[in-house]
Each structure stands twice: as structure tokens, then as C-alpha cells.
Amino acid sequence: MSAFTTELHGQVAVVTFDLPGEPVNKLTAAVKVEFEALLIRLRDDADTRAVVLVSGKPNTFIAGADIEEFTALTTQAEAERLSFEGQEMVSRVETLPKPVVAAIHGACLGGGLELALACHYRIATDHPKTQLGLPEVQLGLLPGAGGCQRLPRLVGLRAALDMILTGKSERAAKALRLGLVDEVVPRSILLRTAIAAAERLMRNGLPRRPPGGGLPALFLDRTPAGRQLVYRRAKAQVLARTGGHYPAPLAALETVRVGLEHGITAGLAEEHHAFGQLAVGDVSRKLVQVFFATTALKKDDGIEAGSASPRQIRRLAVVGAGFMGAGIAGTAVGNVEVDTRLKDADLARVGKGLGAATAILTNRLERRRITRPEYERLGALLSGSDAYAGFGRADLVIEAVFEELALKRKVLAEVEAATRPGTIYASNTSTIPIHQIAAEAQRPEQVLGMHFFSPVEKMPLLEVIPTSATAPEAIVTAVRFGRRMGKTVIVVGDRPGFWVNRILSPYLNEAGLMVTEGVPIELIDRTMTAWGFPVGPIALLDEVGLDVAHKAAETMHAAYGDRMKTGNALDRMLAAGRLGRKNGRGFYRYRDRHKAGPDNAVYGLLGARQVEDANPDAIERRLVHAMLNEAVAACAESVVRSARDGDIGAIYGIGFPAFRGGPLRVIDDLGASRVASALHELEDQYGERFRPAPALAEMARQGGRYYAT
């Protein structure tokens, strides 16, 4: 079946791209062949004087090259050829002797945007689903179909680098401001406007565009010295952001540079060469696996497919208006547009919570993500109370009160009394097992956990935790609701700490122990950020709050015994009134809530003397292996349903370096026996907490792996 259909409107051929049997349009090898043949026909057809390219899919223009084809690439030469052929196809659009107009509605990404860039005119709809971007670096690649060449020429060097090096996409309004599209229209008139534009170009010739980038571009984009400055700054920013672990943005920067300094032919050659190298590299392989795992999770409801249907959530209630509760309320209102009631014990707290929830919307308004009328409309969905007024109408209640079992049980009982029998109750606990919270519940089948991460509006993960009594309908409802909040959702087992905090606990404990041994705080953090974590473990403790971390550590110790025993670092820090960033005193010093260097007074407080010759390799080995070992133990207890869920949970929940693919991929890459023998050595040196989990020893014996490939 054909991917393209053509219909003549006067002398304008409207080409509709609708890849049969696929949810999105993508540029597969077969599509490229068909499209090139179509271009020749259009060129030779005397009745056609202009072309409009439009998509037949509901929410995608073109999602880019077919990422699945990348997984079949085995050699650099093959990958180079794929990019070269993409460049050729796109060039044929640009050099078609008839104007081509791209009529863009929905995602216009990667190769899709590169194709649109080669068209002679671009019109986009003002719909939020319309996003234009070059996300290739997020897959460890660079735009390989001419995007590194055409984008800077169209929008200016700085704006192009901002898009290419981060992979972020832009909505239509911003795209118009950048000069990336020529017009923005409502969806209802997209086709009509595109045909009119094609007729105009047919009559008047191609538009002349001023070079992009505005006034500052006069120096920065259009003089060699200015551009050198931009390249240098961009490189420094990339290195600061990626720690040098991701080769793609640097290769993209070099490709853009070659293209602008030595001409488009040299640029295209550099582009397909670099694409070839990156596509068969380990980082890209890992990031592509992460992409497919994330996509698969979008369809996984955590229950046997079809065994229950999600309930509609028209009203949400959140108990606890602290930082987490307010974050949940603000994100739910902003993303799901659901009527939300925030409750706390007194009106002062409720007011503060409503303020914090509204700040999430204000931030979106300021960043022009929403309009003023949308802001007003969303704000009106938020309300607050110091009683359970209105809970009788809630479909879902999320509890986000202090992490204390007795309090959580009390709130559950109060909510059950104030709600209808069908209301789902979710606890946002970070460590306490849900079955303990639900032990006295009247309707245990409606109770589960929804563990959000802080700050809620930014962190991409949600753990949904059913108990053995939770009804499948409640599970699928919570999963779907979390997804509508914009989260990647994993359904995890009801064990203390669930998945993310379970594997984080021994890692943080070990870091705390190191400080009591006198290992420099900054060295510990620097070692782990160099390994690829976004923040080091000690800085993370300060961020989380030492009181919160201490509470969680106690729960974990009680549940798992000495393996999770904490040193006395947190006790002593708390006794000295140090709560971390929130009160400006933690392992680090803070000035105006900004980190201002490690606090050397901490060593005295912990009775430690700073070690002069601490070895980063040893630090890394201890910390990484503590986490890997716990990941194996938790997997063996079926805390996660698959290695995929475990790795995605670690990447999105704690920022485990994505280029390593997740802790379970790391174990596969190193080999279970190597991990086990490193743990044996650590056990000899530091004690039983490093004893390899029985499941790891078993894997080591059998040569077991988590993934087949």
C-alpha cells in the first residue's frame, strides 16, 4: 500500500503522507524510495506547478527517520549511507523546480523537520501538539538529513544551536518568532492556507527571507570572529551539561561549524560521516533502547491487558498542602485540567500550598506555554479547604502528608469516611509499604501508592504501587492519570522503598559513611557526577532534606536489616540542626539558597578527619556496587516487573546516567561474575553489607543476564 496520495487542486498537487498501519509517519527506507519516485513524477507532470505536503495522521506531521531501522545498522558505513540517502532525498525537495509548501500539524521532528526545512515555505498550526524540533541528540545522534546545515541558515546560528544541541522542540508561536515557519494558522484552515501560499509562490516566485537571528546576529552569527565566540560558548555549555559523556552534541556543533565555515557541501559530508560514527556507537545504542522502553511504557497499564478499564477522574483531592502536595495539585491542574481540591489542617498551610500550586501555572504563563485566558481557566480549577469539604465528589484522592505510618493511617480513615465507595485512594509515600498504610482500610481494593518525585512538575517518573488487595481498575486508573500528568509510569512491588528509593538507599548510606571516614564531601559528589549522575549523593541528601532522608533511612533499616544500616552522619547532622538546603545548613553551606561550597565544620561534627589521599576510583566502586547489588536483590523480589522498568525507573527517578542504560544494563555490560567478584572484594574490605545478593551469585554462576541483547 502506498504511503502517499496526491490530489490536484487547480495546479497545486496536495501530497498526503499517511504511512499505512503505523501510528505515526516516519521516513523508512521504503518511504524514501516511494517519495523520490513521487518527486520525479511531480517534477515531470505538466499539470502540477506547485506542491503542498501534508500529513494524514491525526497528531503527527512526520516523526523523523525510522528509529527502528537504526537498530539494524551494524557498520559505520551502513549508517553513513542512511544519512547520505536522507540528505539526497531532502535536497531533491529543495531543488525541485516547483515550490513546495509544508503544511505542518502535529509532531514535526528529526528527519521530518529536516524535510520541512528543505521545503520552500512552512505553515504550522497553532495546536499544542504541533512541535518542531531536532531531537536526534537525545538518541545519541545528530540531525543527519541536512538539518545541521539548513537550520542555522534559516534561523541564525545561536537559535539553531539552541535547538540542535539540546534536542528540545518548539511550539508554533516560538517557531514563527524564530523564523522557522512562515505562518501559523488554526488547524481548520491549514490546507486552504497552504494551497493559497503555493499558488502565491507559483505566481510570484520564492520568498526572500532576511537572514535569521535578529540584530545581535549582525556580529555574532555573521562575522567569523562572532561565530568563533558562539562555538566556544556552545562547547563549554555542552561540556558543562553532559560532562563529556555524550558525543552527539559535540559532533553536531562541529558539523554546524564546518558547514558555516567551509560551505554546505563540506558540512553535509561532515554530517553524514559523524552520523555514521554516532549511530553505531554505544551511547546511541543505549539511548535508542531508552526511547523504545519509554515508548513501550506509554502502553503498559500495569495490569493484564483488557482486564479492567480506567475510571474517569473528574475531581481530584490532595491531602497535605506541603511541597509535594502542592506540586501534585499544580501539575494535575496544569496537565490534566482536572478540578482539584487541596486540603491541609489549617488555612495558612492551605493558602501556602495553593500559592505553590499556582506558581507552577504562573511559570508556564511566563514561559508562554499557556495564554492568559488559559492561565485564568486553569487557576479556577484549584481550590482549598481545611476540612474534607467537597471530598464526597472526588474520584481520586492523593495523600501527601508527613512520612509517618500512624498519621497516614489516620488520614486514610478520615478520607474513607468523607468519600464515596468508588473513590480511589493513593498514598504518595516514598518508603512505607502500602499494605501497612491500608491495614485498617475499609475499602482496601481502592488503595494504592502513587509515588511522585520532587519537584513534581519537573521529575518525569511516577511509581504506582498496588497491594495484593488493590483492584485492577484502581491500578489502571492511577497509571493512566499519572501518564496524563506527563509522567512515565512504572508499576512496582509493595516492598519498603519500592524500586527507586530501595536502590538509592544503600548508595546514599555508603556516601554518608564515607563522610564519617573523612572522605572529602566534594570529591564524593564530583566522582559521581563525573560518572554521569546529575548531582552527587551528598548534594542529593541536602536537596532531599536530612530529616526526610533520615526518616526514610530508618524505614529501610527496619525493613532490610544491617545491609541498610546507616552510619551516624545523619543523626549527628540533625542533632546540630542541619536540615540541608531548606534551612541553609547541610553538608554544604548555602548563600541565598545557593550552594556555596562544602562545610568543613561537618567533619568535626562527625568526629572525622579529612582524608588527603582519597581515591576517586575506590569511591565510585563502593557507591556504584552498593546500588547494583541492591538492584539485583530488589529484582529477585519482583519489585519491578521487568529489567526495562527497573532501568527506566533509575534513569528517570534518580538521574542514573542514561548513556549507561540503567543499573541492570550496567550489570549485563560488566557481566554478573565481574560485579559479584568486585562485591566480594568490597565485602572483605568493608563488611557484610557488600555481600553479593544471592540472585547475583546465581547469575554469576550461570552466566545469566537481564536482557537477551
The least distance separating ligand 3H9 from the CB of residue 28, rounded to whole angstroms, comes to: 8
User: 121-125 and 169-171 as β-strands: parallel, antiparallel, unpaired?
Assistant: unpaired
CA neighbours closer than 13 Å in the CB half-sphere of residue 579: 7
Q: Which of 15, 82, 476, 633 binds ligand 3H9 (CB under 6 A)?
A: 82
Q: What is the DSSP letter of 215?
A: T
| DSSP codes of every residue in 381-417 | TEEEESS-TTGGG-SEEEE---S-HHHHHHHHHHHHH
Is residue 626 within the footprint of ligand 3H9 (CB under 6 A)? no
Is residue 145 within the footprint of ligand 3H9 (CB under 6 A)? yes
CB burial of 75-107 (b: ≥16 within 10 Å; e: otherwise) equals ebeebbebbbbbbebbbebeebebbbbbbbbbb
Window contacting ligand 3H9 (CB under 6 A); options: 23-31, 503-511, 547-555, 690-698: 23-31
The answer to whether 300 and 327 are in contact (CB under 8 A) is no
Is residue 65 within the footprint of ligand 3H9 (CB under 6 A)? yes
- Name the 3-class secondary structure at 121: strand
Is 463 annotated as catalytic?
yes
The answer to whether 509 and 549 are in contact (CB under 8 A) is no
Is residue 118 within the footprint of ligand 3H9 (CB under 6 A)? no
Q: Which of 13, 26, 238, 542 binds ligand 3H9 (CB under 6 A)?
A: 26
The least distance separating ligand 3H9 from the CB of residue 655, rounded to whole angstroms, comes to: 20
Identity of the residue, 132 or 350, whose beta carbon is nearer to ligand 3H9 in the bound complex: 132
> Counting every residue, how long is the chain?
709
Identity of the residue, 68 or 404, whose beta carbon is nearer to ligand 3H9 in the bound complex: 68
Identity of the residue, 298 or 591, whose beta carbon is nearer to ligand 3H9 in the bound complex: 298
Identity of the residue, 22 or 414, whose beta carbon is nearer to ligand 3H9 in the bound complex: 22
The least distance separating ligand 3H9 from the CB of residue 226, rounded to whole angstroms, comes to: 27
Q: Which of 13, 31, 63, 693 binds ligand 3H9 (CB under 6 A)?
A: 63
Cβ neighbours for 292, distance < 8 A, ≥ 6 positions apart: 67
Is residue 100 within the footprint of ligand 3H9 (CB under 6 A)? no
Provide the terminal-to-terminal Cα distance of the chain, rounded to the nearest Å.
33
User: 107-109 and 424-427 as β-strands: parallel, antiparallel, unpaired?
Assistant: unpaired
Cα separation, 518 vs 604, whole angstroms: 10
Cell numbers standing for residue 686: 568493608
Window contacting ligand 3H9 (CB under 6 A); options: 96-104, 106-114, 362-370, 641-649: 106-114
Cα separation, 179 vs 638, whole angstroms: 51
Q: Which of 7, 68, 376, 681 binds ligand 3H9 (CB under 6 A)?
A: 68
Cell numbers standing for residue 140: 545519541
**How far, in Å, are 537, 598, 619 from residue 616 at the CA level?**
14, 17, 5
> Which residue, 237, 220, 238, is CA-closest to 229?
220
Q: What share of the chain is helix, strand, coil (3-state, %, to 5)?
A: 55, 15, 30
Is residue 135 within the footprint of ligand 3H9 (CB under 6 A)? yes
Q: Which of 99, 110, 281, 662 binds ligand 3H9 (CB under 6 A)?
A: 110
Q: Which of 99, 140, 144, 506 binds ligand 3H9 (CB under 6 A)?
A: 144
> Which residue, 83, 194, 193, 75, is CA-closest to 136?
83
| Packing angle of the helix pair 672-686, 694-702 (nearest 10 deg) | 140
Identity of the residue, 298 or 367, whose beta carbon is nearer to ligand 3H9 in the bound complex: 298
Window contacting ligand 3H9 (CB under 6 A); options: 138-146, 332-340, 462-470, 694-702: 138-146
Q: Which of 93, 96, 121, 136 binds ligand 3H9 (CB under 6 A)?
A: 136
Identity of the residue, 32 or 451, whose beta carbon is nearer to ligand 3H9 in the bound complex: 32
The least distance separating ligand 3H9 from the CB of residue 235, rounded to whole angstroms, comes to: 21
Is residue 78 within the footprint of ligand 3H9 (CB under 6 A)? no
Q: Which of 14, 39, 73, 143 binds ligand 3H9 (CB under 6 A)?
A: 143
Window contacting ligand 3H9 (CB under 6 A); options: 3-11, 107-115, 565-573, 575-583: 107-115
Total binding residues toward ligand 3H9, as defined by CB under 6 A: 29
Cα separation, 319 vs 297, whole angstroms: 28
Residue nearest ligand 3H9 (C-beta atom):
110
- Set 463, 473, 510, 630: catalytic member: 463
The least distance separating ligand 3H9 from the CB of residue 689, rounded to whole angstroms, comes to: 40
| DSSP codes of every residue in 445-498 | GGEEEEEE-SSTTT--EEEEEE-TT--HHHHHHHHHHHHHTT-EEEEB-SSTTT
Is residue 83 within the footprint of ligand 3H9 (CB under 6 A)? yes
Cα separation, 489 vs 476, whole angstroms: 11
Segment 504 to 523, residues that bind ligand 3H9, using CB under 6 A: none
Identity of the residue, 139 or 382, whose beta carbon is nearer to ligand 3H9 in the bound complex: 139
Q: Name the strands in the sheet holding 60-62, side by side, starting at the edge strand that comes first in the sequence.
A: 60-62, 107-109, 131-133, 169-171
Is residue 107 within the footprint of ligand 3H9 (CB under 6 A)? yes
The least distance separating ligand 3H9 from the CB of residue 476, rounded to whole angstroms, comes to: 17
Is residue 482 within the footprint of ligand 3H9 (CB under 6 A)? no
Is residue 267 within the footprint of ligand 3H9 (CB under 6 A)? no
The least distance separating ligand 3H9 from the CB of residue 204, rounded to whole angstroms, comes to: 32
Peptide bond preceding 455 in cis form (omega within 30 of 0): yes
**Which contiguous run of DSSP H or E holds residue 61?**
strand 60-62
The CB density around residue 65, as the number of other CB atoms within 10 Å, is 29
Identity of the residue, 123 or 164, whose beta carbon is nearer to ligand 3H9 in the bound complex: 164
The least distance separating ligand 3H9 from the CB of residue 289, rounded to whole angstroms, comes to: 12
| Packing angle of the helix pair 616-636, 663-670 (nearest 10 deg) | 110
The least distance separating ligand 3H9 from the CB of residue 10, rounded to whole angstroms, comes to: 32
Burial status of residue 444 (CB atoms within 10 A of its CB: 0-12, 13-18, 19 or more): buried
> Which residue, 470, 452, 471, 474, is CA-closest to 461?
452
Q: Which of 208, 298, 372, 591 binds ligand 3H9 (CB under 6 A)?
A: 298
Window contacting ligand 3H9 (CB under 6 A); options: 140-148, 232-240, 306-314, 668-676: 140-148
The least distance separating ligand 3H9 from the CB of residue 175, rounded to whole angstroms, comes to: 15
Cβ neighbours for 174, distance < 8 A, ≥ 6 positions apart: 368
Dihedral sign computed on CA atoms, order 508, 513, 515, 520: negative
Is residue 140 within the footprint of ligand 3H9 (CB under 6 A)? no
Cell numbers standing for residue 602: 561537618
Q: Which of 12, 24, 303, 461 binds ligand 3H9 (CB under 6 A)?
A: 24
Identity of the residue, 87 or 429, whose beta carbon is nearer to ligand 3H9 in the bound complex: 87
Q: Which of 295, 371, 600, 685 binds ligand 3H9 (CB under 6 A)?
A: 295
Is residue 109 within the footprint of ligand 3H9 (CB under 6 A)? yes
Segment 42 to 61, residues that bind ligand 3H9, using CB under 6 A: 59-60
Identity of the residue, 145 or 682, whose beta carbon is nearer to ligand 3H9 in the bound complex: 145
Query: Could you give the residue numbers annotated as active site?
Result: 463
**Residues contributing to the site for ligand 3H9 (CB under 6 A):** 23-24, 26, 59-60, 63-68, 82-83, 86, 107, 109-111, 114, 135-136, 139, 141, 143-145, 147, 295, 298
